[in-house]
Amino acid sequence: MTAGSSGRMTREDAFAIGRLDATGQAALVARGELAPVELVEAAIIRIDALDPALNALTFRDDGAALRSAKMAEGAMAGVPWLVKDGLDYPGMPTRSGSRSRPDAAPGTTA
């Protein structure tokens, strides 16, 4: 798996990565084929392509995801995951799946 000729993640590469499970994605990082940030970039490309039709995400913070990936360590470094909006998670609004809470305060639990 490599970035396109421009050195940037291509949509084709992003979707190929997305067909891997979390263990497969982590293996790409462990083998040095991709950096943790590239896994997150691939996830962002897939979200940009699919979420307008799926409307599955209620909140995005791509910047925080990329910053976290830059500091990621360990076996699952950079493997992206989504937080359910019913969980109290730092920096993410806790809406509990309700449209009646569009201005929900960010979570504070670590």
Residue 65: closest CA among 85, 98, 42? 42
Average per-residue pLDDT in the chain?
A: 87
The phi and psi torsions of 90 (rounded to 5 degrees) equal: -55, 130
**pLDDT given at position 109:** 67
- Quick: pLDDT tens for 35-57: 999 999 999 999 999 999 999 88
More confident: 100 or 70: 70
